[in-house]
Structure 1
Amino acid sequence: MKLMILGATGAVGSQVLAQAQRDDRFETIFVPTRRPLGSPGKAHNPIIPFDLPLPETDWWAVDAVICCLGTTLKQAGSKQAFYRVDHDLVLACAEQARGAGASVFVLNSALGANPQSRSFYLRTKGEVESAVARMGFERVVLARPSLIDAEREETRPAEKLGLMAGRLLAPIIPKRYRPVSADTIAATLLREVTGRPGVITLESEQMRHD
């Protein structure tokens, strides 16, 4: 199987790449990034600016895509810039892969994603989910993790406080809202590359490490 990983420099994407390298199902792994990966291993690492429109190249021709692309409002600097990454860029990548023959698209989304949400962040995530589900992939998996438990290079004070509270109160918090580790999310995304056709939604409590 040929696999593409998008967003491989992030907390979840980097775990997906590490685990995919050890997965015998994948004979070829493409990991396009803006900057060269320090240790791509057996993966092919094309360097592209991720500006729209995206380049049309033969490495879009994969069997499955795991998409972990995403930013934050703070990093993006504006709602418009955030939307361009988390919506426009994700859909552009999905369109390229689908046009090149990909049959599976696994999207790392967010708990509460809903195109009707009052939250700009969750509304954006919901709009992307809906659009990808309509693209004609044989199998679409929409994974909605709660707060991601991972070490990050950038400082996120609010997220750090949320993680501390989540870890402390985990025994009494409903499973759906408990923090979930990046490696657990990655294992779930990789597991879901194969399965029955259709659009599958995975809530946070359904994620587990095999």
Structure 2
Amino acid sequence: MRTAIIAGATGLVGKELVYYLSGSPEYSRIHLLVRHLTGNTNEKIIEHLIDFDQLQDFSLEERIDDVYCALGTTMKKAGNKDAFRKVDLEYVVTLARRAKELGAHRFLVVSAMGAEPKSMFYYNRIKGKMEKAVSKLGIETTVIVRPSLLLGERNEKRFAEEVSAVFMRILRPFIPKKYRAVAAEKVAGSMYHMALTATPGLHILESKEIEDIE
């Protein structure tokens, strides 16, 4: 049976990952890296209070198979570009590097549609730089998922995203599949599926491919 780490376990995709893995017979232990304890009482789950600025010092005494990363913020929540970069680039790359040092076979991370290191859009540029850095670390299997707009119940309200989600649902039949909003549950499900089935190497799933995974 496998042991996993989930970072970003209280976010939209992270909560779904916790649901999938805690109910999976494939996993015997799930370590959650959190800023605040969630109170999850599942016997498989161990929570670790983490200062993500000191993530490079995090260690475990047991073998780790899979590391799932759902870390991410918004420019509004972060407050400025430097703070956004720290969460969506630096924390993620540090976690991936630590995953390799801990002997993890698989690293699975949530990115975004349009991620590109040279993008004119800062958000996509940071996501692209993250992808490039993570893919260069040489982890046995790296899975990057690039969802479009995420659908689901967030802890905090994001007015612009809520409005966009409404229009995306209404216009869904007319939107090309690769641009359609995708449920956080589907994103988490695709990551879980890839953890169990992906061959060694780099795998990038665009939004359409996320939707197609059952």
The answer to whether TM tops 0.5 is yes
- CA 1:197–1:46 in structure 2 vs 1: closer, same or farther (change >3 Å)? same
Partner of 2:205: 202
Mapped to 1, the partners of 2:125 and 2:141 lie a distance apart of 23
8 Å contact 1:142–1:200 — kept in the other structure?
yes
Aligned to 2:85: 83
1:60·1:96 contact (CA, 8 Å) conserved in 2? no
What is the CA-CA distance between 1:153 and the residue it aligns to? 2.1
Return the alpha-carbon distance in structure 2 between the equivalents of residues 91 and 163 of structure 1. Answer: 29
Query: Does the C-alpha gap of structure 1 residues 78 and 207 become closer, same or farther in structure 2, counting only changes over 3 Å?
Result: same
Q: Which amino acid aligns with 2:6?
A: I
| Structure with a larger share of its residues in strand | 2
Any residues of structure 2 matched to 1:7-156 within 5 Å, and which? 7-41=8-42, 42-52=44-54, 54-58=56-60, 61-156=63-158
How far the C-alpha of 1:172 sits from its partner, in A, is 0.5
Counterpart Cα distance in 2 of 1:23 and 1:131: 30
Between 49-58 and 109-118, report the one with greater CA deviation.
49-58
SS in 2 for 1:167: helix
- Provide structure 1 residue ranges, at least 5 long, that are not aligned to the other structure: none
Q: How far is 1:53 from its partner?
A: 5.2
Does the C-alpha gap of structure 1 residues 142 and 161 become closer, same or farther in structure 2, counting only changes over 3 Å?
A: same
Structure-2 separation of matches of 1:186 and 1:105: 13
Post-superposition offset of 1:61? 4.3
What corresponds to 1:158 in structure 2?
160
The alpha carbon displacement at 1:40 in A equals 4.5
Partner SS, residue 125 of structure 2: helix
TM normalised by structure 2 equals 0.94
**Displacement of 1:56:** 3.4
Superposed CA offset, 1:2-31 (max 9, x none) = 111110000110010011111111111111
Q: Describe the SS at the equivalent of 1:32.
A: strand
1:165 partner SS: helix
The percent identity for this pair of structures is 37
Contact 1:107 1:141 in 2 (8 A): yes
TM-score (norm 1): 0.96
2:11 touches 2:155 (CA, 8 Å); kept in 1? no
Higher helix share: 2
Q: Distance in 2 between matches of 1:19 and 1:83?
A: 29
Q: What is the RMSD computed on CA atoms of the aligned residues? A: 1.3
